[in-house]
Structure 1
């Protein structure tokens, strides 16, 4: 989540600096193997392989072999290996060593001419030769959900992986930008998409409606980004800057919580929003003149 607790962190850091407690070190029992991402998306007609990184973290790097498996249970539209995609790694294994702490699962999609909708499959860590913990302490990052978007889908141009970059109203770049985001089709509505990872928040889905013919997208109003421990619910809200209304000599911000955040789509599937702000009842964490989603 965004770095909105900077003052607290600075104060805590100063406090820690004054302590004489012995430092804690990473122990061998803390070693783990885990996915770098919880989900990934790729177009059915993609020419490049989708590469999903898996990392190992250990005190004493050594030769380790990892096995993974494909899981389809619980999926509404499962992808079939050999029909919808191929795993390019031999024998569904990865290898790690002192000189290779990250390896990649490589996936090549198989195109067809049918409108058969998006399909999914799950890659799950199975076992490793060193008996190292798989996933983090809370069990996270032990699997990755892969979504294959149908290139015959009317919204195929904007389905897939993106990087989000935010720019303030003065045009300056928000250094907290660069988060990964995934756009997936609404399986029940060909005019809507689901955005995961918006503003760096991965546990909320943002819904947008799309007019692909006119190359526009509208992020629907009233959508919760996250709940702040102090300020409460934070929403993505459209706003405008108007002339000074209160006599303080400064321009004023007027929120439009009932309006869409309007976006444009270019010929490559890149998306640019209008002005929007992450707001709570006490105000806003930032004012963005535009956000750019660059398709990967």
Structure 2
């Protein structure tokens, strides 16, 4: 049975994120106590010690609360930390600040969630115009889909390299989103955008240690139907007239390299027409 000595105070989660475009985020602090408990105040602080890219109060965000002390007059329930971000119009990468619960007026214990890491997401990435969700359409395939979703995301600290999720299709392919746990493998390909933003290069040989069917290696050919030799990279042409479109004209697949399925490919893409170097896969960004 819950007793007065069991009362505690904690955040409801340990992480949160907010865009830097003058956005507001509300972060609840929960007081778990018996009904009729006396009112309690809770003090918090912003801590940036040890953070590689800290979000600094007054530069990256402002506190909308009157002070760094919350008050729960009913003795149980919650109060809210309210923060508004500041858009600096510069690409600095995502920044983080740790919000820590440091004391309370009734000396309640703090729960396991006594620190919350707030990430301020930078909206000024130079490739922001091409990041986001895409629809992939392949001309011909085997062990895959003719149409499927793809996500292109920023790589922290990089301005020309992106992470590409989902190019292996949805039928047999890997997840199209980052993992929710640090213990899970992150199934993406790295792509490098040219200095003039006209093309993207995805190196062949990028490996996933394991997927449902065994380890895989991204494999690319010089031509659109696999009659030529293997290539060092898959090259996509980027156009922006009426939206972002990335066109690939080489055969590719995710080749299984070990186990019972060794030598089989997941999500082949090729073109069988008589024209050389015809499109094999077209990515169209969702607007």
Superposition TM-score, scaled by structure 1 size? 0.49
> Which stretch of the first structure deviates more once superposed, 204-213 or 53-62?
204-213
CA shift, 1:186, in A, is 2.0
1:231-284 residue CA offsets vs partner (Å, 9 max, x unmatched) = xxxx7x3x6xxxxxxxxxxxxxxx354268xxxxxx9xxxxxxxxxxxxxxxxx
The equivalences for 1:36-55 within 5 A come to 36-45=12-21, 47-55=22-30
Tell me, yes or no, if structure 1 residue 89 matches structure 2 residue 65: yes
Superposition TM-score, scaled by structure 2 size? 0.50
CA contact (8 A) 1:149 1:156 kept: no
Report the count of equivalent residues. 179
Structure 2 CA distance for aligned equivalents of residues 256 and 87 of structure 1: 50
The equivalences for 1:195-206 within 5 A come to 201=181, 206=186
- Counterpart in the other structure of 1:117: 93
CA shift, 1:222, in A, is 4.2
Structure 2 CA distance for aligned equivalents of residues 158 and 33 of structure 1: 43
CA RMSD of aligned residues (A): 4.0
Residue 144 of structure 1 aligns to a residue in which SS? strand
Structure 1 CA distance for aligned equivalents of residues 9 and 154 of structure 2: 28
Tell me, yes or no, if structure 1 residue 58 matches structure 2 residue 38: no
Q: Which structure 2 segments of 5+ residues have no match?
A: 132-152, 166-176, 200-205, 219-242, 244-287
Is the alpha carbon distance of 1:157 and 1:38 closer, same or farther for their aligned partners in structure 2, counting shifts above 3 Å?
Answer: farther
CA contact (8 A) 1:88 1:108 kept: yes
Is the alpha carbon distance of 1:198 and 1:115 closer, same or farther for their aligned partners in structure 2, counting shifts above 3 Å?
Answer: closer
Structure 2 CA distance for aligned equivalents of residues 155 and 41 of structure 1: 20
CA contact (8 A) 1:42 1:149 kept: yes
CA contact (8 A) 1:56 1:102 kept: yes
- Counterpart in the other structure of 1:149: 121
Residue 29 of structure 1 aligns to a residue in which SS? helix
Q: Which structure 1 segments of 5+ residues have no match?
A: 1-24, 160-182, 215-219, 224-234, 240-254, 261-266, 268-296
Structure 1 CA distance for aligned equivalents of residues 159 and 11 of structure 2: 31
1:4-63 residue CA offsets vs partner (Å, 9 max, x unmatched) = xxxxxxxxxxxxxxxxxxxxx122222111111111111211x44111222111124431
Tell me, yes or no, if structure 1 residue 186 matches structure 2 residue 162: no
Residue 186 of structure 2 aligns to a residue in which SS? strand
Tell me, yes or no, if structure 1 residue 258 matches structure 2 residue 188: no
Asked which structure has the greater CA Rg, the reply is 2
1:184-209 residue CA offsets vs partner (Å, 9 max, x unmatched) = 852357534699x9665466573644
Is the alpha carbon distance of 1:199 and 1:207 closer, same or farther for their aligned partners in structure 2, counting shifts above 3 Å?
Answer: closer
- Counterpart in the other structure of 1:134: 110
Query: Which structure features the higher share of helix residues?
Result: 1
Is the alpha carbon distance of 1:155 and 1:256 closer, same or farther for their aligned partners in structure 2, counting shifts above 3 Å?
Answer: farther
Is the alpha carbon distance of 1:154 and 1:53 closer, same or farther for their aligned partners in structure 2, counting shifts above 3 Å?
Answer: farther
Structure 2 CA distance for aligned equivalents of residues 133 and 80 of structure 1: 28
Tell me, yes or no, if structure 1 residue 33 matches structure 2 residue 5: no
Is the alpha carbon distance of 1:259 and 1:157 closer, same or farther for their aligned partners in structure 2, counting shifts above 3 Å?
Answer: farther
CA contact (8 A) 1:221 1:259 kept: yes
1:112-147 residue CA offsets vs partner (Å, 9 max, x unmatched) = 2212222111110011111110123xxxx1111111
